[in-house]
Amino acid sequence: MTQIAVVTGATAGLGEIIARTLHGAGYRVAVTGRNHARALEIAAELDGTGETAVGLELEIAKRDHFEAALAQVVEKWGRVDVLVNNASVTRAQPVLDITTEEFNEVMAINAGGTFTGSQVFGRYFRDRGYGRIINLASLAGQNGGTATGAHYAASKGAILTLTKVFARDLAPYGVTVNAIAPGPLDSPIVHRTIPADRMPGVLSTIPVGTLGSQEFVARTVLHLASPDAGFVTGATWDINGGLYLR
């Protein structure tokens, strides 16, 4: 049976690669993001007929956007099987310079968005008796971050905890919830965050000596989204080049 996935933050970067990877593997995909025009554009590139890809506006800070996306996908394809909570904001600031308002904003968007998405879709998956939720966390949530701000690191740490909570509560209903915690990836956002003159120093701290692959992270999402992944839940998959070992 063809699987149906909703991917947040899928209009650029890793989220776009995840959406394209799922679609390439035969999934029907709802490409969602704040930039509705871009979501529609990517969906049209994947399938100009609209049969296997749709573009939807979804701001993760808004519960009604999650509810609307769920309703629209169910109306179009009859059900949803997978939610990928990918969307987030990344900010790099010294901890003593972050205002309370800035901290709360990043926490509300990143951790709050993952919570809301997992709750809205988690209720639906529970009632269906099946579902896969994959949350994009970060190495920063495990080691406190080195190139990112404390608000970003704290929000990603919260996502790791939320993954465990939802996994525990939804496991009896055939729903798995897992997280992926990438380290620095070869991506535009990493290159924007880390100045070119600092990159050699960053690479020297990574045991494998390179940045990670966005495509590999996307394939890991595909792996966890599979119906065969029913015995994996509450886990965090580390993809960090050896920067964090446990």
Measuring CA to CA, which residue among 9, 49, 12, 11 is closest to residue 28? 49
- β-pair partners for 132: 82, 176
The active-site residue, picked from 27, 130, 152, 244, is 152
Residue 244 among the catalytic residues: no
Instruction: Map residue 158 onto helix, strand or coil.
Output: helix
Burial of 198-210, coded b for 16+ CB within 10 Å and e otherwise, reads eeeebeeebeeee
Report the distance separating Cα 128 and Cα 218, nearest Å. 26
Report the distance separating Cα 168 and Cα 76, nearest Å. 30
Burial class (CB in 10 A: 0-12, 13-18, 19+), 48: exposed
What are the C-alpha distances in Å from 81 to residues 2, 76, 84, 139, 150? 9, 13, 10, 27, 33
Report the distance separating Cα 193 and Cα 196, nearest Å. 9
Report the distance separating Cα 103 and Cα 221, nearest Å. 28
Task: Report the run of H or E that residue 33 belongs to, with start and end.
Answer: strand 28-33
- β-pair partners for 131: 175
| Residues identified as active-site | 152
